[in-house]
């Protein structure tokens, strides 16, 4: 089956990476099911339903809503070949200052919502003996040392662990899984509508405040990553004979990933002898 004959299911499709991806897929002739919190946003930005496009209003935090959207997709196109769990949002605030409600809501959207999608799409992929899952994470889910972004990073680390286990589980059915680690991408991620700043700021945490200022004052609107090129890379990975499990996007993400790997290697080497000695004797 060519890329143009496949059916894609894309969450968070009304802006950013999701919107770029949906437009690129439709231009290439693929069938696309696009989800957003409001149907009007999809129709305004992409267009009404057509032979190849199905816009669906979904509350990703509501499993029944997710299940219904996947049923619509199967009813319309007969199959789902690729899923892109792209929806999510940033949460900024210190671990001490973020409320339980704010923490749980971030996990609800960034982790539990993709799990809802997978729970209901995988039975179809198993029956058709194939498919590809793309979970859009963040470089903060690989290199998490960002003051003030700990909970957001935790959601993306969780998504990374889920994706790695998923890849091992579904390989026998011909299903692939790829975790996308974007660096800073020029989307609305740092805008007031997409970034949640914890209500309880703790002034003593100067490092967290300084990094927030950098993001809002210096980086917003100037991020290095191009969402259209990132979308093209996802399509390219979907067509690869051996797609990557870990797919980093952008020079910044690549550089930070290499820094993290080097730091882990240093810790391993420094503590290797002591660490090995914690086992029972042979």
CA pair distance 222, 252, nearest whole angstrom: 13
Which candidate in 152, 181, 205, 280 is catalytic? 152
pLDDT band at 213 (very low <50, low <70, confident <90, very high): low
pLDDT band at 197 (very low <50, low <70, confident <90, very high): confident
CA pair distance 219, 232, nearest whole angstrom: 23
Q: What angle, rounded to 10 degrees, do the helices at 150-170 and 100-107 form? A: 30
Chain-centroid distance, C-alpha 10: 11
Residue 152 annotated in active site:
yes
Q: Which helix (H) or strand (E) holds 249?
A: strand 246-249
Residue 219 has pLDDT above 90, yes or no: no
Average pLDDT over every residue of 238-247 = 96
Question: Angle CA(65)–CA(136)–CA(174) in degrees, nearest 5?
Answer: 85
Collapsing DSSP to helix, strand or coil, 248 comes out as strand
Share of the chain above pLDDT 90, in %: 76
Local structure of residue 147 (DSSP, 8 states): T
CA pair distance 200, 262, nearest whole angstrom: 35
Which structure tokens are listed for 118?
A: 């997978």
Residues 254-267 have pLDDT tens digits of: 999 999 999 999 99
Average pLDDT over every residue of 103-127 = 97
Contacts 24+ apart (CB under 8 A), 125-129: 125/80, 125/170, 125/173, 125/175, 126/170, 126/173, 126/175, 128/79, 129/173, 129/174
Collapsing DSSP to helix, strand or coil, 261 comes out as helix
Give the pLDDT score at 214. Answer: 67
Q: List the domains of the chain with CATH numbers.
A: 3-270 (3.40.50.720)
Give the pLDDT score at 186. Answer: 63
DSSP result, 81-131: -EEEE----EEES-TTTS-HHHHHHHHIIIIIHHHHHHHHHHHHHHHHT-E
pLDDT band at 205 (very low <50, low <70, confident <90, very high): confident
Least confident of 15-19, 69-73, 107-111, 275-279: 15-19
Collapsing DSSP to helix, strand or coil, 179 comes out as strand
Residues 167-187 have pLDDT tens digits of: 999 999 999 999 999 987 666
Mean pLDDT of the chain, nearest integer: 90
Residue 220 has pLDDT above 70, yes or no: no
pLDDT band at 211 (very low <50, low <70, confident <90, very high): low
Average pLDDT over every residue of 238-264 = 95
How many residues are recorded in the chain? 282
Of 89, 117, 127, nearest to 8 (Cα)? Answer: 117
Residues 116, 60: contact at Cβ < 8 Å? Answer: yes
């Amino acid at each position: 089956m060519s890329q143009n004959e496949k059916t894609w299911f894309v969450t968070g499709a009304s802006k950013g990476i999701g919107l770029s991806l949906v437009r690129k897929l439709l231009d290439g002739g693929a069938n696309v099911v696009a989800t957003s919190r409001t149907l009007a946003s999809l129709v305004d930005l992409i267009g009404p339903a057509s032979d190849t496009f199905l816009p669906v209003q979904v509350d990703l935090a509501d499993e029944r809503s997710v299940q219904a959207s996947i049923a619509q997709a199967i009813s319309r196109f007969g199959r789902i070949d690729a899923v892109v769990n792209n929806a999510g949002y940033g949460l900024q605030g210190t671990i001490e200052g973020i409320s339980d409600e704010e923490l749980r809501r971030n996990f609800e959207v960034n982790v539990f919502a993709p799990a809802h999608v997978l729970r209901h799409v995988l039975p179809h992929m198993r029956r058709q003996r194939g498919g590809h899952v793309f979970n859009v994470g963040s470089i903060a889910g690989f290199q998490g040392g960002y003051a003030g972004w700990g909970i957001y990073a935790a959601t993306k680390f969780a998504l990374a662990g889920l994706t790695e286990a998923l890849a091992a589980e579904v390989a026998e059915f011909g299903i692939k899984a790829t975790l996308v680690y974007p660096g800073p991408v020029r989307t609305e991620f740092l805008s007031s509508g997409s970034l949640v700043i914890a209500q309880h700021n703790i002034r003593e945490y100067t490092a967290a405040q300084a990094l927030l200022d950098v993001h809002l004052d210096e980086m917003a609107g100037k991020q290095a990553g191009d969402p259209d090129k990132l979308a093209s890379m996802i399509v390219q990975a979907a067509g690869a004979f051996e797609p990557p499990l870990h797919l980093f996007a952008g020079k910044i993400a690549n550089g930070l990933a290499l820094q993290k790997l080097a730091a882990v290697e240093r810790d391993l080497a420094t503590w290797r002898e002591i660490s090995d000695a914690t086992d029972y004797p042979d």
